[in-house]
Structure 1
Amino acid sequence: MTSSDPRPEGAPFRLAILDDHGLIVDSLATMFSEQSPEFDVAVRATTWIGLIRDPGFPVDVVLMDLQLGDTVSIESRIRACRAAGAKVVVVTALDDEESRDRALEAGAAAFIPKTTPADELVEVARKVARGERVRPSRRVPVLAGGQADVAASDGPDRTAAGLANARLSPAEERALRLYAQGLSTLEVGRRMDVGYETAKTYLRRVREKYAKVGRPASRKSDLIRRAAEDGLLE
């Protein structure tokens, strides 16, 4: 364990499994429980918002399906997980070069075909948990008629219907978007072409506005949840 690793010495790595097929989620959870005691399956989710809002999130490693039934891009999902401190392994039935490049450039530690044998997938997860970046050579053909991950949309997926609106200003909303992607407060300011104190003020106001409507946002993981709930991860 390094000095930056918050896990107690000898504690298992906390694992989240995200796939829109519940049977796959349960099968992977059982496999890891039986084959890899160094992992604790802390979150099982079939939707992106279900992962982000689960009390067990953030975790150490997320096994994430490339294609989910929403409009949030794979890049935003990966960056949000990384911003919360989780490493990401993308597990996919669509192993085309474009999707692979997008996932790895966004910060995924590994991009794994769903045809990968169980023991190899477990070993990849072990390596990623230890901080290694994995680029397996195995490739699977793209099925005829296969489509890429649903990354583009006509607008944000407002999955939080019924949740109180924090009524963020455009500047506050942009600051939250950038911060939830893993940028530091200083980097948020640079991207917005404002000073550090201004960016800090935007984020403070975001936290205050969410708190006023009963949606806690004091921690970074809370802010990522709020951004996901309000469709601000595109």
Structure 2
Amino acid sequence: MSSSEPASTTVPSEPAPGSPVRLALLDDHGLIVDSLASWFTDNAPDFTVVLRATNWMDLIRSPEFPVDLVLMDLQLADNVSIESRIRACRAAGAKVLVVSALDDEASRERCISAGAAGFVSKTLPAGELAELARRVARGERLRRGSSGRAVDATESAMTEDTDSAHLSPAEERALRLYAQGYSTVEVAERMDVGYETAKTYLRRVREKYARAGRPASRKSELIRRAAEDGLLE
């Protein structure tokens, strides 16, 4: 196992109802980390900043890791790729929102394809960033706006309501497995649920995409939806 990955793998889960979101801040500028931590502590009681880190290894080696959500800088002064960092967090059960000074499509696509729930600009006011973090913590995925650039709070609010399928963690995992080539029976086995339960998850996935105006009745369409939403490893 690579030293850049956590020691164990769990299924991503939602924070317990009513409990604060356990938040980690990862940025190689300590002043940014401290400033965000202070803002969340003073203004967002639905979050608890349990981990501050200025490098990748400090994050994953902390006894507080994994957390519910990581706000992660795109560029760190280490040799671990953003894709590896995102996938390691996702494998450990943590959602990821990438916060970057770069506002380019290539960087955004790299992050979303690796499994990040969103890619936003560091220029956002802290209040807007917190609102996006809430939505990611609830299981939403922030999609790009019609301009094709990294989303900001206004664009994500418009696009998320119109074309997001709002999949639950179980539905998302069923889709990931199914899109990777596993049969419904194998999806059920890997999720340790009954066949009918796995079948229901996949039916709900198709229905949710259909309601969002993104057809997914055929397997090829379902795989395309998964790829668009960054659910394929």
**Common topology (TM > 0.5):** yes
The Cα of 1:6 is off from its aligned counterpart by 6.5
Partner of 1:117: 125
Q: Secondary structure at the match of 1:11?
A: coil
> Bigger radius of gyration, 1 or 2?
1
Pairing 1:1-234 to 2, within 5 Å after superposition:
5=13, 7-135=15-143, 137=145, 139=149
Q: Secondary structure at the match of 1:9?
A: coil
One-letter amino acid of the counterpart of residue 18, structure 2: G
Q: Secondary structure at the match of 1:32?
A: helix
Query: In 2 relative to 1, CA 7–130 (structure 1 residues): closer, same or farther, beyond 3 Å?
Result: closer
The Cα of 1:17 is off from its aligned counterpart by 0.1
CA distance in 1, matches of 2:135, 2:39: 17
Identity %: 64
The Cα of 1:5 is off from its aligned counterpart by 4.4
CA distance in 2, matches of 1:44, 1:136: 28
Give a deviation string over 1:108-147, Cα, whole Å, max 9, x none. Answer: 001011011111100000000000011354858xxxxxxx
CA distance in 2, matches of 1:75, 1:81: 10
CA distance in 2, matches of 1:75, 1:106: 5
Structure 2, unpaired ranges of 5+: 1-11, 151-175, 181-233
Q: Secondary structure at the match of 1:55?
A: coil
The Cα of 1:14 is off from its aligned counterpart by 0.2
Count of residues in Structure 1 that have an aligned counterpart in Structure 2: 140
CA distance in 1, matches of 2:114, 2:14: 24
TM-score (norm 2): 0.56
CA distance in 2, matches of 1:71, 1:8: 35
CA distance in 2, matches of 1:13, 1:22: 22
Moved over 2 A (4+): 4-9, 135-140
The Cα of 1:36 is off from its aligned counterpart by 1.1
Give a deviation string over 1:141-175, Cα, whole Å, max 9, x none. Answer: xxxxxxxxxxxxxxxxxxxxxxxxxxxxxxxxxxx
More helix by share: 2
Q: Secondary structure at the match of 1:57?
A: coil
Contact 1:112–1:136 (CA under 8 A) maintained in structure 2: no
Pairwise CA RMSD: 2.2
Relative contact order higher in (CA < 8 Å, ≥ 6 apart):
1
Query: In 2 relative to 1, CA 6–136 (structure 1 residues): closer, same or farther, beyond 3 Å?
Result: closer
CA distance in 1, matches of 2:44, 2:140: 17
CA distance in 2, matches of 1:41, 1:136: 27
Q: Secondary structure at the match of 2:123?
A: coil
CA distance in 2, matches of 1:108, 1:57: 17
Structure 1, unpaired ranges of 5+: 141-182, 188-234
CA distance in 2, matches of 1:126, 1:9: 13
